[in-house]
Amino acid sequence: MNMKCICPECKNPIDLSPYENLAVGHIIECNTCGITLEVTFMTSDEIKTEIVDEGK
């Protein structure tokens, strides 16, 4: 699979290579701005995410 994900915060592509078994509900981190994102929707070539408010 060769999925792509654009960060909803900084609009940069997120490197998904560290996440080999991504699924809906998984948490990923933008390697550009460092924001935490939850995977909300996946297709074979695209991932949609939502910003997670961790209350930091």
Give the nearest distance from C-beta 1 to Zn ion in angstroms.
Answer: 21
Task: Give contact residues for Zn ion (rule: CB under 5 A).
Answer: 7, 9-10, 30, 32-33
Q: Of the two residues 36 and 42, which places its CB atom closer to Zn ion in the complex?
A: 36
Token pair belonging to 52: 């997670």
Give the nearest distance from C-beta 5 to Zn ion in angstroms.
Answer: 10
Q: Of the two residues 35 and 42, which places its CB atom closer to Zn ion in the complex?
A: 35
Q: Are 5 and 46 in contact (CB under 8 A)?
A: yes
